[in-house]
Homo-oligomer: A and B are copies of this chain.
Amino acid sequence: MIHEISDLTLRRFPKYIYILRSMQRKGQEYTSASELSRFLDIHHTQIRKDLALTGVRGIPKRGHRVDSLLRACIEFLDWDNLTDACLVGVGNMGSALLNYEGFAQSGLQIVAAFDSDPEKIDKRINNIKVYPIEKLKDVIGILEVKIAILTTPAKNSQKLTNEMVAAGIQGIWNFTPKKLVVPENVVVENMDIYPALAALLGKVRNVNTINPNGPVEFDQE
């Protein structure tokens, strides 16, 4: 039987991998869906169902071997095979992501970056070359990159998206708050970190404010 893997299933597996890696580092030999459930916000029956998708079978009364379950989860997401990506916009966020060493163990490899700043062009960041933004289409075409990480300022980001899609990009990891318009066959994952930061800071300030009514006052007529 062949199944399509749902979006929500794909999103849960990195969580299993994270917990299993930690158990492996600690030298833990066995685990179970119930134990994994205690560390995550996922019900154990859901975890059991997900783990069954990997084909790995538990051992009665002992559960799953941590190492073989971890291996099966990584294979399930195909994270051993790196997918090439490019990064567009080498500002603060872009530089941080270029220097981030955690993608390799999650199936992603950034092979090219783009910027419009002459100071940055032809430099290498973490050994990744920064190309001029004018070469976006050519480089994406030559390298046959299918994934783009978007970390540009708002200006031109739709225009750049159109160019990327025309060049063959099929998936965009959008770190900007901008709404991107793409054809139906192109996948966009939005990943804007600032709303969470604003909510966190706003709420903590609210708790601490001297004014018992909240941190921000304003007049409304």
Q: A residues near B, CB below 8 A?
A: 1-5, 7, 10-15, 18-19, 21-23, 25-26, 39-41, 52-55, 76-78, 83, 91-93, 95-97, 99-103, 106-108, 146-147, 153-155, 170-171, 173, 176-179, 185, 187, 189-208, 211, 213-220
Contact = CB atoms under 8 A, between A and B. Distances in A.
A195 B3 contact: no
Q: How many copies does the complex hold?
A: 2
A198 B3 contact: no
Contacts of A214: 2-5
8 contacts: A15-B192, A22-B154, A25-B155, A39-B178, A53-B220, A96-B97, A187-B200, A187-B203
Contact of A215 (B78, B97, B189, B206): B78
A96 B100 CA distance: 6
